[in-house]
Chain A
Amino acid sequence: MIAHLNWTATAVFIGFFLLVTVLGFVAAHWKRGDLTDLHEWGLGGRRFGPWISWFLIGGDLYTAYTVIAVPAVVYAIGAFGFFAVPYTIIIYPILFVVFPRLWRIAHRKNYLTASDYLLGRYGNKWLELAVAFTGILAKMPYIALQLVGMEKVIQALGFQGEGLWSHLPLTLAFLILALYTYRSGLRAPAMIAFVKDIMIYIFVIAAVIIVPMKLGGYGVIFDSAREAFAQKTAASGGKVTAGLLLAPQQVWPFITLALGSALALFMYPHSMTAILAARDAHSIRVNAITLPAYSILLGLIALMGLMAHAAGIKVANPQDAVPQLFLAIFPDWFAGFAFAAIAIGALVPAAVMSIGAANTFTRNIWKPFIHPQMSAQEEAVLAKLMSLVVKLGALVFILFVPTKFALDLQLLGGVWMSQVVPAVIFGLFTRWFSGWALLWGWAVGMILGTWLAWTPSAWVPVHTLFGSGVAVYNGLIGLIANILVATLLSAVLPDKAHDETREEDDEEFPKGKPAL
C-alpha cells in the first residue's frame, strides 16, 4: 500500500494538512458569534469584508477539481479547454451588477439562500422548492468531484491500495473536514481559504516560471504541444479534434459553453453562500474587480496541460497530467507542497458546498414543508447534521459509483443550474415575471436541457441545431426556452402574490417609479 510512497512529498503534504485541520477547529472562535444560530454558522454572521471575501469566494469558485480538470481538458484536446477563460471574464460583470442588489435585500430580510429570496419575492413556495431542489441536485456531484481532485494527488504521492483500502486517506481527510465544518461552520473554510489560496498562488507562479526554464521557453512548449495534438488527431483518424486553436466545429460549443456556464455559476448554493456572507454590498463590488486575479491563475493552470506535452508526460487519464508534470519537473518537497495546495483546494469548496446545501435544505425544504415553526437554533442543529449527511453522501458516491457517473452528473448540473437564472435574477430588475410563470419556465428548461443532453451512447454537453452544423450548449438552449415560456406565461398569469421585498425596502429602486 505504501511501498512506493514518495516520503518527502508525503511528509510536506501531511504537514500542511495538519495545519489547516488546526485552523478549521480554531476558526470557531474567530469573529466570535453564537454558532447555534444558523445565520452565524451558515453565513459567518455576514461579517466578511473585502479581503476575507476575496479569499473565501476565490477559494470557493476555483476548486481542486478546476485545478485538475481544466488542464486535463487542455492536455487532451488543447484550445477548447480554454473556454474557462472567457467564462471567468463574463462572470464578474454579472457579479458586479446583480449581487450587490441581491445582497441588500437578503441582508434586510435576513435571507440565507436564493430560495429564501424567491419565497419573499414571489410568495410561491413551489418555486422556492424547485430552486432549492435544483441547487442540491447539482451540488452533490460537484462535491463528489472535489474528492476526485483530492484522490488524484493522493495517488500521485505513491499511495496504492486494493479495493476500499485505496480510499483510506481520502476517507480520513474527509471525515476530518466534516468534523470541523460541523463545529465551525462557514468560518472554517473562510480561514483555511487564506492558506489554500496563498499556496496555490505560490505553486502556480513557480510553475509558470520554472517549467518553461527547464523545457526551453514557451515557444518550445506550444510547438511541442502542437506536434502532440497533430499526432493525436491523426492517430484517431479524425475522431478526436485536438489542436492549439479551435477547430471550426468547436467555435460555437466554446462560445455557448462559456456563456452558459458563466450564467449558472453564481446560482450554485456555494457561490450564493460565499457572496451573501459578505459584510456589505461594497465588498461584493470590490471583489468583482479583484477576483479576476484568480482567473489569470486559472489561465496559467490551464497552460500546464500544454506543458505536460512538452515535458513528454504520457498518461492514459488526462487528469493525471498535472500531478505527473509536477513529479517530473520539481523536487519532491515542492511536489508535496503543490499536491497539498490542490488537496486543501478541495477542502474549502467542499466545506462551503456542504454548508450551502445544508442551509438550502433546512430553510427551503424542511422548514416550509415539514416544520414551519422552526427556531433559528433548531435550524442550525438541522443544518449542521445535513452538512455531515451531504459530505458522507458525496464520499459514498465516490467510493461506490464510477467516477464517470459523477462527471456526467456534473455536466448536467451546469445545465440544471442555468435554469434557475430567470427566477433568481430577473425579479431584481423587473416586475413583469410571476412566480408561477417562472416555475413553468424552469420546468421546461430542465426537461429540454436534460433531454437534449441524452444520447444513446453518452450524455453530451452540446446539441447541433437543426442540422445546421452549429452546436450549442444544452444549458443555454434550455435557458432560452425557459425565458420564452416565463415571459409569455407572465402575460397570462400576472404577478399577484404578495412581494415582501418591494422597492420601498431597497433604496436602489427609484421611489414612485415603475422598475422598468
Chain B
Amino acid sequence: MRNPLRLKLEQYAGFEEREGRRLDELVAQRTQVFAPKQDILTEGEKVKEIHIVLSGLAARYKLLDEGERQIMAFLIPGDICDLEVFVLEEMDHGISAMTETVCAVVPAETIKGLLTEMSCLTQALWWSTMTDSAVLRERIIDHGRRDARERIAHLFYELLVRYRIIDEAKDNSIPFPLTQEELADSTGLTPVHVNRTLKQLREDRLIELKGRVLKVLDPQGLRRAARFNPNYLHLRKAEEGLRGEADRVKDLV
C-alpha cells in the first residue's frame, strides 16, 4: 500500500527519495486496528503517541451533556489525529473510528527526532495543521451561512478533493461508510433533513450513493452547488499546475 501520509504532505513539500523512505518507515513500524465506533482517542486522555490514519475513516467529535454529538472533522487516510501531543497535555475532544480503521502509532520521540533530521517535514506538518484549522473554519461558515444543500455538497466535494490527493478516488468514487445520522452529526442538520437533501442531490444527478460508496457524477455541478472555493486547502502545487503529485487533483481546484 502506498503511504497516504506521504501522498498528502507532498502536495506541499518536495521530499527527496531518502526522506520519502523515512516517512514510509515511520508509518510501517506499528499499526493498530480500531473497530467501527471504537474510540481511537478519548476526551481527557493523555496522549503519548501519534496516530496517523492509514485506512478507514475517523471523526473528531464532542459529546454534549444530553448525549448529542457534534462531529467537527473527518480524518481520512494520511491525516494525523493528534499532533497536539507536542504542545497540549490531554485531548479536549474524542476521535472515533467510523468504520474499521487502521492507524500507524508513532511514539512522540520518534517524530521529534525526525523533525530535527528533516526540516522540510516540520514545515509540511505545520502546513497540515494550518490546513486542518482552515477546514474547521469552513465548518463555522457551514453553521453560520450555508443551507443544508450547500453544507452537504461542500463536505462531499471537499472529501472528493482529499481522497484524490491520496489517490483513492478512482472514477470520482470515494469510500463512504457514514450513516445519515453521522452525516447529521457532522453538518448540524437532522437525519430527516439529511435524507431529503441527499434525495435532491441524487435527483439533480450530482451524486450517487450505493453500498458505502459515494460517486460524484458531476464534479463541476457539485462544486457550483457547494459554492466551493478550494483556496482553504492550500494546494499550491495543483493551483500552479505543477506536474507530478499535483496531477491527481488539479482538475478539481
Whether chains A and B associate is no
